[in-house]
Amino acid sequence: MNHTVTMDEEDSQTGSGTRSDLRAHKRLSVSGPIVLLWKEGERVRSMYGLAKNLSAGGALVRSYRGLPVGAFVRLRSNKLFFMTGCAKVQHCTRRGLTYHIGLKFYSDLSTRF
């Protein structure tokens, strides 16, 4: 499996009114496996996902399972070493058979690396 990091096409657009203009941090397209861990009651649950994009403040993960908005998660990846830490689920949207999960990091990547 290839693990890549490239500039997101959305961020290369110029002019006003693009979604990237409204974002606090520039996004990078990534592709790599990630593990999400969270608590449900007293149980620690985990699931695999695929990191799709990344910024200093958060990430987008695609998975076959959704997570509730507001949930606290820990994330880690053996292939994308910088995808580690804690985050809050900002949004979770079903797209066909998968879910797109938007995560907001508790501390920016720049403060951790």
Q: Model-level pTM?
A: 0.74
Task: State the Cα–Cα distance between residues 35 and 13, nearest whole angstrom.
Answer: 31
pLDDT tens, residue by residue, 9-52: 343 433 444 554 555 557 788 889 999 999 988 999 999 999 99
pLDDT tens, residue by residue, 67-102: 999 999 999 988 887 778 899 999 999 999 999 999
- Domains detected in the chain: 26-112 (2.40.10.220)
Residue 94, C-beta contacts closer than 8 angstroms, at least 6 positions apart: 66
